[in-house]
């Protein structure tokens, strides 16, 4: 891992271990920059060239409000998979609950919008995909240790 990657991971882990989670605070800005640049800016995690980011559209399970979340992903054939890590926080991220209620959605990778259907990976699929998240960005291993009693779900976004 390059020096920038180690620095980004160290800062992230330091903040997360002290209860600082910036996910919701930065999502709108990240999505605007990502869309404006068609993914050239905000399309990967700084210092982690394999840490690719997509934009996930989701509708609030209770509110019905449409939201966008930037998430790291791995490809899995024609599908992509995302991890509901919430940086190791004790609860699942809001987008995860929203996808359970409204699985038909869209993702944006670069400038391409794709219609997908979300489903939670079964145990065998998660066991196969989780090491790919950790290899892509080692922070995922930290997130799982930090999440302790919560197994971080992997969500598969299949083309529809």
Instruction: Return the pLDDT at 125.
Output: 98
pLDDT digits over 25-69, tens only?
678 888 999 999 999 998 988 777 888 999 999 999 999 999 999
Instruction: Return the pLDDT at 24.
Output: 58
pLDDT bin (cut points 50, 70, 90) of residue 78 is very high
pLDDT digits over 119-131, tens only?
999 999 999 999 9
Instruction: Return the pLDDT at 48.
Output: 79
Q: Mean pLDDT throughout 73-101?
A: 95
The CA distance from 140 to 35, in Å, is 25
Within 13 Å of residue 106, how many CA atoms lie on the same side as its CB? Answer: 11
């Amino acid at each position: 891992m390059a020096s920038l990657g180690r620095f980004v991971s160290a800062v992230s882990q330091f903040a997360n271990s002290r209860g600082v989670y910036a996910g919701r605070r930065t999502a709108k800005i990240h999505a605007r920059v990502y869309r404006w640049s068609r993914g050239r800016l905000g399309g990967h995690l700084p210092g982690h060239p394999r840490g690719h980011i997509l934009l996930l559209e989701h509708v609030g399970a209770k509110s019905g409000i449409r939201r966008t979340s930037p998430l790291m992903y791995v490809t899995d054939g024609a599908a992509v998979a995302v991890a509901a890590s919430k940086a190791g926080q004790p609860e699942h991220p809001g987008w995860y609950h929203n996808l359970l209620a409204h699985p038909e959605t869209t993702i944006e990778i670069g400038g391409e919008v794709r219609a997908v259907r979300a489903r939670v990976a079964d145990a065998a699929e998660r066991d196969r995909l989780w090491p790919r998240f950790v290899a892509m960005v080692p922070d995922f291993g930290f997130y799982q240790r930090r999440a302790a009693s919560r197994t971080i779900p992997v969500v598969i976004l299949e083309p529809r």
